[in-house]
Structures are given as structure tokens and as C-alpha cells.
Structure 1
Amino acid sequence: MKKNILILFLLIAAVGLGYWQGQRGLDAQRGTVAVESANELLSAGRAGGGTADNALNQVKTAGKVHTVKDGESIQAAVLAAQPGDTIRVMPGTYKEIVYIDKDDIAIVGVISDSKWPTLEGEGTRNDAILYSGNGIRIENLKITHYKGNAIMGQAGNNFVIRHNWIVDTGVYGIFPQFGQNGLIEYNVLTGIEDAAIYVGMCDNIHVAHNEVFGNVAGIEIENSRHAVVENNTAYDNTGGILVFITPGLPIKTTFDVIVRNNFISGNNHPNFGAPGSIVSGLPAGTGIVVMAADDVIIENNIIRDNKNVGIVITDHASFANVTADPESEPNPDRVQILNNIMTGNGTEPITEIKALMTLNLTTEAPDIVAVGGGKDSCIIDRARYRSIGLGNYTECTRTNTNDVASYLLPQPAERRSTDTGNKGKLAYFAICAGCHAYNARMIGPPTLTIQALYADDAQAIADYIANPVKKRPDFPAMPPQSYLDAATRLEVAKFMLTVDK
């Protein structure tokens, strides 16, 4: 009887997930959010936000409203805006790059009669929106055909990114870097060659109610702490949700990450990541990957039909394309696998997992595989899953994460400033380290390689930052950072030459 009830529940979940995915996609195409004023947009954005949303309501943008119409410039409105202002973007096509270096600016799109405000990169522009201000909010935009990123945060705290539709924007879709206290919700992203939502070196982050499909990685939490990833749908990616420590970055840890209540289904898309990058080593058919991260809790997810494996827990040594970093502890410790529903995973495992199956004298397709080091991890009712490598996992004493609504801060985080004499270091952490690890290959060559190429010539690096040219066939072209002033480019070049870890 219990078995029949479980089968019925799975069938209901499968049908519901398929309908929900299809409806979300149709809603995005039809533009069902039809609102005509900034106040209505704020109300629509807050509907159903709950505790996580309320934690950022203190980030105020209650000043003047600047309306941008088709044929006008969003960047011009940003230049005219003052902290606290809202830029309301009407339906139309905007072929530009927008840079926000002011605090408390909101860019809010108006979607009416199925028509979106669309930032169009035409396959030639690198980034759609770059922000370094604090208290930035970006809502209700369609962003497509950029080469680098759709929305990239560069050390801005207290950000909200929601209700955006992002298609084919190159390396990353939504990419907050070196920020604190941020909410990413109700976005739809597809066609991204690295991670659709990539949280890099951040703290106190909430990622919820997003739909990610057709990307290499759906959602990636990298070298970040205190994050909740919940109620997302990740399907038809190469890998669904990744929680990583990437070696060679200035922040060396990932911990306190909760992955709960997500649909992680059929992530079997062929890997089209940049050759040599870390995610290019991600096997197709992988639901969740925890690499070297600590204190990760996986709870109440539906993880199904991922042909390689449902969950992989791995150290650095066991993952492809990873260079050791002596300052990064390489093992995943204190991972907790609580109650999850897993079915249909592991039907076509990669060669390495087949070898593990042979060593463990099993032919059963695996739901969970743990390889390499790690300590003090646990699982609830391991017998319900087909697993490999969980011999040292104990029975979890914790049964749920109901005590953690969010890791967002009850008050806005302190605002980061570049007026403290550390402009070069801040720019390196917030911008350069997203693509250049110290001693490991990412999207760009390692910082060590750059130091060897340029020796003590900081000015040459600064000039290249402003106007880069493609030099190496094995790396994608670097986007120009000419929006940085000459003094900042020189300071970050000097800092890059002195970094030693």
C-alpha cells in the first residue's frame, strides 16, 4: 500500500512539474505581467515574496521616477538619476550596455500586451547591465544575445534581481560577484554557456522561484557563504545545481548552503561550456554537485531522470579540470542529505561511476555518489536511495531546516565604498576574479600567467583592460572594461601584479 501511494505521488509530481514548467515558459513568452506604473510593479514584485523578500524591503528607492521609452537610452536615465530614483523602462528594444555606479537605483521594466522592454546585445555587445552600486534593484527586463553576461554585480550589496527573462547571454546570466545580502527570484534563464545563475564570492544570498533550463549549469553557488537555494526548477541543463569551492579565488570557502524544495529534473543537456573551464568537466546528466563545500544541507528536493547521477559529493581531487589550491580545504565536510524524492537517476552513468559500481559489486543505477575525502556527513534513511560511497555517513539527527527561513540580513549590509584606498583590490575581487583565478584556469587565464606575461608593466595591463584583443584561441575574447576610469584600471593592474594567492 505504501509503495502504491509513493508511486501515485511521484506521478502527480511529474505531471504537475511538467505543467508548471510549460506554464512558466508560456507566461514568459506571453508577457503575463501587465503593469503600467512603478507602484504596480513594486506590488507585483513583492507578491508572494515572503520572509526572504521582506528582509530587503528596507532598501529604499522612493525618489523620482524616470521613464525611458523605446528609442531612448536607459544609460542616459541612469546618468540623470539620483540615489533613490526609479528608472521605468517601457516596452521596446534597447541596444546598449548599462552601467550603474550609484546607490539605491531601481531599473523596473513595464510589460504590457505581451511586449517586453528588451536589452538586445545583437551578438556583439558584451554585458547588458553592470552594477557596482549598493541597493540596486533590477526587475522585469528581457535580456538577450549578449556575449558576456546579462546582469553582473561588482561588489554591490543589498541587491534584488527578479522577474527577468534572460536568453543566450554568453558566459553567465545573473552574476553577483563579491556582494552581500542579495535576493534573486522569479527569473527565467536559458542558453548560458557557464552558469545561468552564478553567485560568486557572496554572503547572505537567497535564490528562489527561478526557472533555469538549457544551460551548462543551472544554479551555481561558488566560494559563497550563508545561501538558501529553494523552490527553483532546474531542468535540461548539463548540471542542475552546483555548490562549489573553486580553487585559486580570493575567497577560499563555501559553507552554510541550504538546497531545498527544488525540482531538479532531466539535466541531460550536452555540455557546451568553454573548453578547459571547470564547468566544461561537468558530466551531462548530473542533478546536484557539492564540490569541497562544507555544511551543505540537501532537503525536500525532487531529483529525477538525471541520467548520470542524482547527487554527487566530491572533493577537488576527484573532479575534472580542478587545480589544487593549498589554501582551500579540498574536502566536503558536514554535508547533510535529509528527505528527498529521487527516481530515474543514474541510467547512463559516466565511465568513472561505472567503475565505482563495479568496485561496489552493484549494477543498480545510483541516486547518490560520494567520492574522495570529507568527514562528519550524514543522511536520513540511506536505504531508500541507491548510493555509492556513503560508508562513513551517519544517520542525521536533524530532520528539516524549518528554523532557517533565510540567511538574508535583518538590516541592510554595510555599503561597500571605493573611497578607502583599496580601489584596486576591490576591483580585482569584484570584477577580475570572476574570470581569473590565481593559479587555476577559469573563463580567463590564471592571474599567475598574466603576471608572467606582463612582469612589472601595470600600465600595459591597464591599457589591455580598456581595449582587449583576442590573443589565445583556447580562451574566449575578454570583454572591454573601458567603463572603469583610467585611475581604477591602473590600480587594479598594480594589485593584480602583486597578488600571491
Structure 2
Amino acid sequence: MTKRHIAYLACAAALCGSLGAAPASAAHRVHWVHPGESIQKAVNAAEPGDTVVVMAGTYRESVKVTTPGLTLRGVGPQTVLKPAKKAKKVKAGKMKAAAQKSCAEMGNGICVIGTKKQPVEDVTIAGMTVTGFSRIGVMAVGAANLNVHGVAAVKNGQWGIAEERSVHSTYRDNVARDNGDAGLFLANSVTAEKGATDTHGTVVERNLLQGNRIGVTVRRLRNLTVTANSITGNCAGVFVVGDENKPKAGNITVAENQVVKNNKYCKKTARLAFLQGTGIVLTGAEKTLVTHNTVTGNTGKSPLSGGVVIFKSFVGTTSDKNQVTDNKLSGNGPADLINQEATKHGNAFKGNTCKKSKPAGLC
């Protein structure tokens, strides 16, 4: 963890000047939670626009948020959320039942849950550590204008921070480390196979993503930005993934990220070959811009290894009209730039600084 991220998390709960600086309005109350008290009880008592402040300590529970405009805020990494000692576990792939099952039964730490007809709007989750859950640290389903910042999602069984069926989210200045799959996972739907959906401008910015299977996975989405993140020590850095459904994933910008030495080994799954040494991958995506990233030292012998890889999809979906421009690449293997698609698909490589490409001539 860099000094910048440590400093940010230390004051992410706004103890650096804003918490308590002004009295709460009559309409918007602050609910304080101390060690030994229930976070969920305070969340249940909160009205739209209220803030729940969780003081330093370890809290063994899961928390479900359905109140619009709610802020759930810790005081930094010393506010720690862990599973209840007897929390029930649910197998992966049961996300569709999230609205019926409790957050703890799903194996998740914090669940922000809306419905298809009525998304939960303007929720903020900030300034805490969420660790040790069997599935997901922080999960949003059916959210709009969600803001997650200053959260450390560490050693959760599946994803650190994740969302589906959500729009216009902001994930900024978080740490997602040593999670079983992606540190940050964003998808249109976890369970249903269908075309990509528009996020209306979701932003993934300035996060530290380290030691996960994949740093960031963007799956079957459009209109999203992944920028200025530090992505290192994962099996793979960034995945932009589409499939045979339409519309394709795309209209995504991956810019100004540090994607360095993602050389951890992860064994193959039912959907994907083994991973090691992968920087940024586009597969089944269109009109995505990969620009001004620093991609170094990602080396391996996986079919997806390399610096920036346009990968020919396992399900036969082409990647079309993507642009890879003005990136700095070095020490990636088997090559800095790899394009597995035929030239007719219109993928462009321009202005990149690198030494080796497949096919030759892309640098």
C-alpha cells in the first residue's frame, strides 16, 4: 500500500476536518455507532439523507443498505467490518436472490440493494476496512449514483468491491487487496447472459488494486472510465470483457493507469485459461480507448499474457475499432502489444512507446 493510499484511508472518514465541523441540519441526522453496538440497527433507524458514523473498532456483522441518500462512514482503516462468527454462507451464482436473502446469508460484508423498478440512489460508503467475507466485501445491486471511497476491501473470498445493474457509480481512492477474484468487479448482470448496458458514466479512479486474481474487471458494460489506478501484483491487471450478446461491451476509456508486474499465478477456471503476466486485456469489446497508461513488467505464458492484449474471445466474439494510443510499455512478455484480431476489425495502435509487438510493427 502506498503512502498516498495510507494517508487517504486514514482521513477518509472526513476526520481531516469535515466530520463534526458543522452541526447536522434538522432534516439530516448523524447516527453514531460505537464498538459493541449494531451498525445495522443504526442504518435501519436512518432516514434518507442521514449519516451513520461507525467509530474505530471491529464489528462482526453484515450490513444491508436500502435507504436512498444514506452515508455509511467509518473513521478510516481502524473501522473494521468482519463476518459474524456464525454467518451462513451461500454458494456463488446466487446473486439473483440478494433481495430476498440477508447480506450475511449471501456471504457479503456491505450490500447496497435497490430494485429493477426503483434503484437505491445517492448512497455513500466510505472510510472503513471490510475483510474476511466468504464472497464480496462491498456489493451493490440496483444502485444509482453510488459513491464508494476510502474503503479497504481485503481478503474477501470472491470480489473486493462489486456492482451489477447499477449506473453512475464512483469508486475512488479505495484499496482492494488479496481478494479471491477481482478487486473491483463491475457487470451488467452476474447471472443473466445479455447485452452490455450503459453505466451513464461510472468512474473507477485512483484505487490501489493489488494481489487479486484480476485488478479490475469490466464485464458487458458501456460508457465507463478506468483512470489513474495503481494496479500491481495481481494475476491480471485490467479486463474489459464482452461476449456473443449485443450490444457489445465498449465505449470505455482505460487511461493513465500504472499497470505493473501483474505476475501472480492463477489457475484456470471453467470460463478462462490460467492467468499470469497480463496487463490490460480487451476481449469482445468495441470502440474502447486505452491511452496514456504505463504498462511494465507483466510477463507470463498464459494465452492472455502481455502488456496490452486484444484477445480473440474464447466464444468467438471479435474486438472491433478499439484504439491503443500513447501508452508507455516495457518488459512485458511475450510482447508489449498483442493483437490477435485480423486487421479488418479496425483496431488501431498509435503513438505507443514499446519494443516488441505481435504481430510486428505495432510499436
TM over 0.5: yes
Q: Which residue of 1 aligns with 2:60?
A: 95
Between structures 1 and 2, the one with greater helix share: 1
Is the 8 Å Cα contact of residues 231 and 260 (structure 1) preserved in structure 2? yes
Q: Are 1:316 and 2:286 an aligned pair?
A: no
Q: Which residue of 1 aligns with 2:3?
A: 23
> 5 Å matches for 1:82-121?
82-111=47-76, 116-121=78-83
1:353-406 per-residue CA deviation (whole Å, 9 max, x = no partner) reads xxxxxxxxxxxxx11111145612212146844111377x8x9xxxxxxxxxxx
Check 1:162–1:335 CA distance in 2 against 1; reply closer, same or farther (3 A cut).
same
Q: Are 1:387 and 2:357 an aligned pair?
A: yes
Q: Which residue of 1 aligns with 2:276?
A: 284
- The structure 2 residue matched to 1:159, chosen from 132, 143, 146, is 146
Describe the SS at the equivalent of 2:287. Answer: strand
Describe the SS at the equivalent of 1:75. Answer: helix
Q: Which residue of 1 aligns with 2:297?
A: 305
Is the 8 Å Cα contact of residues 108 and 139 (structure 1) preserved in structure 2? yes
Q: Which residue of 1 aligns with 2:211?
A: 214
Is the 8 Å Cα contact of residues 38 and 108 (structure 1) preserved in structure 2? no
TM-score for both structures, normalised by structure 1: 0.59
- Which residue identity lines up with residue 339 of structure 2 in the other structure? A
Q: Which residue of 2 aligns with 1:32?
A: 10
1:22-60 per-residue CA deviation (whole Å, 9 max, x = no partner) reads 4246547xx6328676971599xxxxxxxxxxxxxxxxx
Q: Which residue of 2 aligns with 1:177?
A: 164
> 5 Å matches for 1:332-411?
332-346=319-333, 349=334, 366-373=335-342, 375-381=345-351, 384-389=354-359
Q: Which residue of 2 aligns with 1:266?
A: 261
Is the 8 Å Cα contact of residues 209 and 231 (structure 1) preserved in structure 2? yes
Describe the SS at the equivalent of 2:345. Answer: coil
- Which residue identity lines up with residue 126 of structure 2 in the other structure? E
Q: Which residue of 1 aligns with 2:222?
A: 225
> 5 Å matches for 1:133-152?
133-152=120-139
- Which residue identity lines up with residue 336 of structure 2 in the other structure? D
For residue 192 of structure 1, report the CA deviation from its aligned partner.
Answer: 1.3
Between structures 1 and 2, the one with greater strand share: 2
C-alpha distance in 1 between matches for 2:259 and 2:49: 38
C-alpha distance in 2 between matches for 1:387 and 1:66: 56
C-alpha distance in 2 between matches for 1:390 and 1:34: 46
Q: Which residue of 2 aligns with 1:331?
A: 318
1:384-443 per-residue CA deviation (whole Å, 9 max, x = no partner) reads 44111377x8x9xxxxxxxxxxxxxxxxxxxxxxxxxxxxxxxxxxxxxxxxxxxxxxxx
Identical amino acids, percent of aligned pairs: 25
- Which residue identity lines up with residue 81 of structure 2 in the other structure? L
C-alpha distance in 1 between matches for 2:161 and 2:287: 24
State the structure with more CA Rg.
1
How many residue pairs get aligned? The number is 319
The runs of 5 or more residues in structure 1 that have no matched partner are: 1-20, 44-61, 318-322, 325-329, 350-365, 396-501
Q: CA RMSD in A?
A: 2.8
Is the 8 Å Cα contact of residues 293 and 333 (structure 1) preserved in structure 2? yes
> 5 Å matches for 1:406-421?
none
C-alpha distance in 2 between matches for 1:70 and 1:85: 20
The runs of 5 or more residues in structure 2 that have no matched partner are: 22-26, 88-103, 114-119, 189-197, 301-305
For residue 173 of structure 1, report the CA deviation from its aligned partner.
Answer: 1.0
Describe the SS at the equivalent of 2:3. Answer: helix
C-alpha distance in 2 between matches for 1:371 and 1:41: 52
For residue 169 of structure 1, report the CA deviation from its aligned partner.
Answer: 1.0
1:289-340 per-residue CA deviation (whole Å, 9 max, x = no partner) reads 00111111111111000013101102323xxxxx56xxxxx11111111101
Q: Are 1:70 and 2:35 an aligned pair?
A: yes
Is the 8 Å Cα contact of residues 193 and 272 (structure 1) preserved in structure 2? no
